[in-house]
Amino acid sequence: MSTSLTEKFRPKLHLTAKYGWINDPNGLIKVDGIYHVFYQHDPNSIHHGPMHWGHSSSRDLVNWEQHEVALFPDGNGTCFSGCAVETDDGKIKLIYTSHRLDEAGKDFQQQCLVHADRALSKFEKEPSNPIIKNSGLGCFRDPKVFWHAEGGRWIMALAHGETIGQSIGFHSSEDLINWTFESEFGNEDGRHGSGPWECPDLLPMVAPDGSKHWVLVAGIGDEAYAPGSGTMYFIGKFDGKTFTNSNPRETELWLDYGRDYYAAQSFFGAHKDAPLALAWSNNWKYSQQTPAEEFSGLMSLPRHLRLVETPDGLRLSSLVPESVSSAFSTIDLSSGQAQPASGTYRLEETISLAPGSQVTLSLFGADRPQFTFVRDKNGRTRIRQVRDAYGDMNEFAHDYDIDAGNLGAFTLEVFVDNGLVELNLDKLIWTTNVYYPDTPAGAVTLTEI
């Protein structure tokens, strides 16, 4: 039986839809021991179209069960990104953005509520939707809601802006239905490329010294660190109304430096000490042109986020849960070369680079390495990463450097799943990129130069 092009690249240990298009993860929540992942979905097309919420669930984050489509477009519009929450009395609610075009053909976005059962098998839209009407914002989407215990209120973070929207708005509520606008953050902070800020998340976190911080995660739609979409974060304070950046305004922190890690969201109510985040492994620059027949789009591995102290200050580190990591077979690269048994494997190597030296990593039997780790004369480590053109995707090829800081010896960890590569140095510097290799199980070579 011949394998279709997309089936060849379907990952084994990552979430994909059986059919149709997916983008952002939505409504991530753990209820009664089950992780639920909803996602932006067009069940009828392999391209972004009228958005529905698709739905999958898993007990172990490795084996995913596909469910019926959860949310369908209605008179308010299609169902853009959003979140899920559990109330004190055990009720599950979904909150999403309804999207339609106004008479002038412009985006018109409002926030809507859905009542669900604990099995997440029945979904009833709130009759008074939209719960937050649009007050004239061109960008008003992607609500992420959490319970702010200190203030005793629900807080919603969402993408805000008069036109394309390059800031995050905060609203508060006591009942999830009546909302009050509190503040806006970001107009002058972080990266402002040509794209919108999207899909925020706001997380209370504790640093190794016990100090408390708030981490605000935001998708940068275009001109992120890597060409196209990327995921930035800020470390600061949140008093229930306002987020204040603890770093200088121009500081840019990236959850992942690769091309294919976007719209990251955390699971509600799970792993409070180390929130578990999931992202869409794609990039708006070429997502409509990736090779796709049965399905289009895939999710990253879930990663636990933790604050760690580094020579540059507090940073987020990301760690794949042990149960997921151990589902990959680890190849032995001690001789510098390995032949994986399949296209799904993991590798871990300690690399110690003398100043002025470099190591290359080549995957899929490629002659030209995709990654070169260089330690410059000043002791800073850089990752040069290259990807060749593929098919009709004009903006898919890349060749750029990541500044990984002053690392000395580091642990290189790489998860490979039929073309999707998630690579990290010391769990701190991550780069996620999708490849479409001739031979997904081709040889792996680590070469010192």
What is the set of active-site residues?
Answer: 24
| Distance, CA of 180 to CA of 82 (rounded, Å) | 18
What residues form DSSP beta bridges with 429?
Answer: 425
Task: Tell me if 214 sits within 8 A of 246, measured CB to CB.
Answer: no
Contact between 148 and ligand FRU per CB under 6 A: no
Q: Say how many C-beta atoms besides its own lie within 10 A of residue 257's C-beta.
A: 25
Contact between 141 and ligand FRU per CB under 6 A: yes
Contact between 40 and ligand FRU per CB under 6 A: yes
Tokens representing residue 355 in the block: 């100043």
Tokens representing residue 127 in the block: 């009759």
**For residues 214-273, which are near ligand FRU according to CB under 6 A?**
219, 263
Contact between 80 and ligand FRU per CB under 6 A: yes
Binding residues for ligand FRU, rule CB under 6 A, total 13
Contact between 51 and ligand FRU per CB under 6 A: yes
**For residues 380-419, which are near ligand FRU according to CB under 6 A?**
none
Contact between 23 and ligand FRU per CB under 6 A: yes
- Compare residues 96 and 371 and give the one whose CB is closer to ligand FRU: 96
3-state secondary structure of 324: helix
Contact between 24 and ligand FRU per CB under 6 A: yes
**Shortest distance in whole angstroms from residue 40 CB to ligand FRU:** 4
Which residue in 377, 368, 375, 364 sits closest to 436, CA to CA?
364
Using CB under 6 A, pick the residue from 107, 182, 189, 198 that binds ligand FRU. 198
Which residue in 79, 63, 67, 81 sits closest to 121, CA to CA?
67
Which residue in 431, 28, 77 sits closest to 224, CA to CA?
431
3-state secondary structure of 287: helix
- Compare residues 39 and 179 and give the one whose CB is closer to ligand FRU: 39
Contact between 97 and ligand FRU per CB under 6 A: yes
| Distance, CA of 98 to CA of 108 (rounded, Å) | 8
**Shortest distance in whole angstroms from residue 306 CB to ligand FRU:** 25
| Distance, CA of 53 to CA of 202 (rounded, Å) | 22
**For residues 301-360, which are near ligand FRU according to CB under 6 A?**
none
Determine how β-strand 329-330 pairs with β-strand 337-338. Answer: unpaired
**Shortest distance in whole angstroms from residue 228 CB to ligand FRU:** 11
| Distance, CA of 28 to CA of 14 (rounded, Å) | 15
Contact between 201 and ligand FRU per CB under 6 A: no
Contact between 81 and ligand FRU per CB under 6 A: yes
- Compare residues 255 and 429 and give the one whose CB is closer to ligand FRU: 255
- Compare residues 38 and 328 and give the one whose CB is closer to ligand FRU: 38
**Shortest distance in whole angstroms from residue 137 CB to ligand FRU:** 13
- Compare residues 52 and 93 and give the one whose CB is closer to ligand FRU: 52
Residue that is written with structure tokens 């990984």 in the block:
404
DSSP label at residue 390 = B
3-state secondary structure of 353: coil
**Shortest distance in whole angstroms from residue 187 CB to ligand FRU:** 18
- Compare residues 40 and 370 and give the one whose CB is closer to ligand FRU: 40
Contact between 142 and ligand FRU per CB under 6 A: yes
Task: Tell me if 427 sits within 8 A of 317, measured CB to CB.
Answer: yes
What residue ranges bind ligand FRU (CB under 6 A)? 23-24, 40, 51, 80-81, 97, 141-142, 198-199, 219, 263
